[in-house]
Amino acid sequence: MSMFIRNKGFTLIEIIIVVAVIAILTAAIIPSINRSREKSRDTQRISDFARIEFALEIYLEANGEFPDLGNQASTIGEGSALDADLVGFMGVVPKDPRSGEVGFGYLYKTNVICNGVVIAAVIYAEQMERSANKNSATVCPNLINPDDGYVIFLGGL
């Protein structure tokens, strides 16, 4: 009769290899998940902009002009006076998915001068995470950074 005692279980090397493989897979997957989240938030912003633009066009039709805030920019979706004007035309006024964080939020401004042309109104985001619309931003670089922002012109350009 032989006296072989066999331990059941994994060796330390096997466990280290499995942990290393899991770490490598995790490191490869997490950045793509973050990129997907950023793209999703940008898609939400673009959808919100379409809704805000539509509400402002209805406001224009009803009142003969866009809401005039003088030369001040107003944040949209944060309880501003502009929100009170828009609620009647769109119900709930959307806000940036990352509102409250520095550099994120929807803004509205009237009488914007872009390359010598006065624009009745613009809605814009100072910063997008992945989807800046460089064409609109380069037309009006004094409004936002062309590499980061997103602009929709109302009543001009």
Q: What is the pLDDT of residue 132?
A: 56
Rounded-to-integer distance, Cα 82 and Cα 95, Å:
13
pLDDT over threshold 80, residue 149: no
SS3 2: coil
Q: Which distant-in-sequence residues (6+ apart) come within 8 Å of 129 by Cβ?
A: 38, 39, 41, 42
Rounded-to-integer distance, Cα 153 and Cα 108, Å:
10
Residue where the block lists tokens 């402002």: 56
**95 with 105: CB under 8 angstroms?**
yes
Stretch 123-152: mean pLDDT, rounded? 64
Q: What is the pLDDT of residue 121?
A: 80
pTM (whole model) above 0.85:
no
The sheet that has 74-76: what strands, in order across it?
74-76, 106-114, 117-125, 150-154
pLDDT over threshold 60, residue 134: no
Chain mean pLDDT for the chain: 80
